[in-house]
Amino acid sequence: MKHGLILLLLLVANLQAKDALVIAHRGASAYAPENTLPAFKLAWELDADAIEGDFHLTADGEIVCIHDYSIKKYTGVDKRVEDMTLAELRGYDFGKWVGEKWINTSIPTLSEVLETVPTGKSMFVEIKCGPEIVPELLEQVKASGLEGDQVTFISFNEKVVKRLKKEAPQHTANWLVSVKRDERGRLEPRMGKLMRVLRKSKVDGISTRANEVVDSAFVTLFKKKGLGYHVWTVDDPQYALALLEIGAETITTNKPDVILSALGR
């Protein structure tokens, strides 16, 4: 029975794999330091369809690729990115925390990450700060020479995605949101609030965490509104296939090679 279910999921996923994108979460972060050029370059070597990275503004107005607000996880020094200049950040090693192999890995800038994107591939830019990043962000994306459909913006901040859709409608922008169920089994936030935010911000879709409670009815509702549904972070190939079955359009994963293999690609 289990074998038959897996075969069925494989069949469904294969039918949708042509359109589904496999996105390398912070690069191929299962194998290299997250949000670094080695991780992104490895993702391309593994044939990921896209990469996803997190971005903050520095004290001197540069845009750097890092997930946390502090550099402590990566360097052992508890300093906030927003309080440091790019030159100061470049003085720290962002690879050694993963292993000796990655010693002397620098924090990359947005422009450096954009430069790695090959023809026919794309990048998902997650904005971790507020709307103040938008002018410099759009300037650097434009300077990269990438096409509008090669760069997608994502953020938990409603104001950020709203401003991006207003100022750069040629790019897709998706709202990241944590969806949970309360003790009575009701969605939090309520569906009404979700739809209001999506309508006001004019974003293109929604992205939820993989382990959150969603089903085909939840996804279908968004698709009927012309909105995309995306999910992060999935390393289990069977679960990825199940998510594709209910309508996910992208799978963000730390192991792009594993998910691509499950899709027969």
pLDDT of residue 101: 97
Asked whether residue 8 is domain-assigned, the answer is no
Q: How many CB atoms lie within 10 A of CB 31?
A: 17
Is 0.85 topped by the overall pTM?
yes
Asked whether residue 21 is domain-assigned, the answer is yes
Q: Mind giving me the DSSP string for 180-223?
A: EE-TTS-EES-HHHHHHHHHHHT-SEEEEETTS---HHHHHHHH
Collect all residues with Cβ–Cβ distance below 8 Å to 148 and sequence separation of at least 6: 170, 171
In the chain, the percentage of residues whose pLDDT exceeds 70 is 92
Asked whether residue 84 is domain-assigned, the answer is yes
What's the rounded Cα separation, in Å, for the pair 143 and 164? 17
Q: Does pLDDT of 39 surpass 70?
A: yes
What's the rounded Cα separation, in Å, for the pair 147 and 163? 20
pLDDT of residue 8: 52
Name the band, by pLDDT with cuts 50, 70 and 90, for residue 14: low
Q: Does pLDDT of 160 surpass 80?
A: yes
Asked whether residue 94 is domain-assigned, the answer is yes
Question: Going by DSSP bridges, is the β-strand pair 21-25/250-253 parallel, antiparallel, or unpaired?
Answer: parallel
Asked whether residue 197 is domain-assigned, the answer is yes
Asked whether residue 226 is domain-assigned, the answer is yes
Mean pLDDT of the chain: 92
Instruction: Give the 3-state secondary structure of 6-61.
Output: HHHHHHHHHHHCCCCEEEEECCCCCCCCCCCHHHHHHHHHCCCCEEEEEEEECCCC
Q: How many domains does the chain contain in total?
A: 1
pLDDT of residue 46: 98
Asked whether residue 185 is domain-assigned, the answer is yes
- Per the structure, the complete domain to which residue 238 belongs is given by 15-262
pLDDT of residue 13: 46
Asked whether residue 4 is domain-assigned, the answer is no
CATH of the domain at 249: 3.20.20.190
What's the rounded Cα separation, in Å, for the pair 47 and 146? 18
